[in-house]
């Protein structure tokens, strides 16, 4: 664990965090929601590892992947309302904050770092999840899919948050786990740190120009 004095020298005044795969492991709940939809449509269940490989680009892409995998002919638009009902029902079944997340957020907050969540999770589900996990109080802003016309990897969500904080995007560290996070940060001009334990799929974490790839969340406090 980093020295508790470390965040006093933290290089960025604002940190923008991805949610699923970065702060929270919600894959089992998402997998349950997907499987409930597939069962409703008359298809076989899929394992959690398969669903993990579909997470990261938002609910529409997740369901697009699931429907293609199942050979379902209905469109995403046709089944999305049903999926979102399952998503809501499964949201709080067993989400887990990754090790070191809360203590690190606490240390950053104590050092005066302002923080936001920037996620492709449907916006209506983000505050209830953060509240249930007891980490909502660390964030000055929360931005989910549907809050803006674009989502990651488009730079708009990051630029919008930077504007809200009144700082240049170069002063906002983006912390994520996926190609969508990296793409948004690079397009926006934000410094980027990636975690190795999330839902990276086949994305090359080390080859995208991130300032660091960390194996533990509390290694954020060691950045200089």
> Which sequence positions are flagged as catalytic?
18
Cα 29 to Cα 91: distance, rounded to the nearest angstrom: 6
H-run or E-run covering 127: helix 126-133
H-run or E-run covering 24: strand 24-25
Cα 186 to Cα 170: distance, rounded to the nearest angstrom: 11
- If you count them, how many residues does the chain have? 224
C-alpha 123: how far from its chain's center? 12
Q: How many CA atoms lie within 13 A of 214 on its CB side?
A: 23
Residue 217: how many CB atoms within 10 A of its CB?
A: 22
């Amino acid at each position: 664990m980093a020295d508790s004095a470390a965040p006093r020298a933290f290089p960025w005044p604002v940190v923008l965090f991805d949610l699923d795969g970065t702060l929270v492991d919600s894959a089992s709940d998402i997998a349950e929601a997907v499987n409930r939809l597939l069962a409703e449509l008359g298809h076989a269940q899929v394992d959690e590892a398969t669903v993990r490989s579909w997470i990261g680009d938002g609910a529409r892409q997740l369901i697009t992947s699931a429907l293609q995998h199942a050979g379902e002919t209905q469109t995403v638009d046709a089944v999305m309302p049903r999926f979102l009902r399952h998503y809501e029902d499964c949201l709080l079944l067993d989400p887990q904050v990754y090790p070191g997340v809360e203590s690190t957020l606490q240390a950053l907050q104590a050092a005066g770092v302002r923080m936001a969540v920037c996620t492709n999770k449907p916006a209506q589900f983000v505050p209830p999840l953060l509240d249930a996990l007891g980490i909502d109080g660390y964030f000055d802003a929360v931005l989910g899919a549907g809050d803006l016309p674009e989502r990651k990897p488009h730079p708009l969500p990051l630029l919008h948050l930077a504007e809200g904080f009144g700082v240049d995007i170069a002063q906002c560290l983006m912390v994520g786990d996926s190609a969508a996070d990296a793409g948004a940060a690079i397009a926006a001009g934000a410094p980027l740190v990636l975690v190795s334990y999330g839902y990276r799929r086949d994305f090359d974490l080390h080859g995208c120009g991130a300032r660091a790839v960390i194996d533990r969340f509390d290694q954020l406090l060691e950045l200089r």
